[in-house]
Amino acid sequence: MTDEVPASDLLPLIFTTALVVYVLAMGSADLARSVIRIAALTSAAFCLAVWAAAALNYATWGAPVVDEFYATMILARYLGNSASGGLLVLLAVALLLLAAREIWRLRVARLSDR
């Protein structure tokens, strides 16, 4: 038996860390913090996409991934697996759109500096 942590157990940690890092980096519009915000939003969107895929494939491989995180387990209980998977996909797309907005704002700021 090994002491390694399964990758699915790290998803809640990565997700909450990404959101905390995003909030902490909101204070400034400099290049470094913009890149940090973009990376944090992308990481959070990746976690939501994995949970969405797990919810949509609950019977085959997704059960341990969904049941490991309290929020996804509650969503699956109240909405069902398909609806919670769809909601998580929409949230992942929303975070990716926020990341694209950050990239656009960064590009506009860089063009206006010229």
Measured CA to CA, the distance from residue 31 to residue 46 in angstroms comes to 23
Rama region for 80: left / alpha / beta (φ>0; ψ in -120 to 50; rest):
left
Question: What pLDDT was estimated at residue 31?
Answer: 82
Q: Is the pLDDT of residue 85 over 80?
A: yes
Domain boundaries, the chain: 9-112
pTM of the model: 0.87
Residue 18 and residue 40 in contact, taking contact as beta carbons nearer than 8 Å: yes
pLDDT in tens, 52-79: 999 999 999 999 999 888 899 999 999 9
Read off the tokens for 49: 């996409």
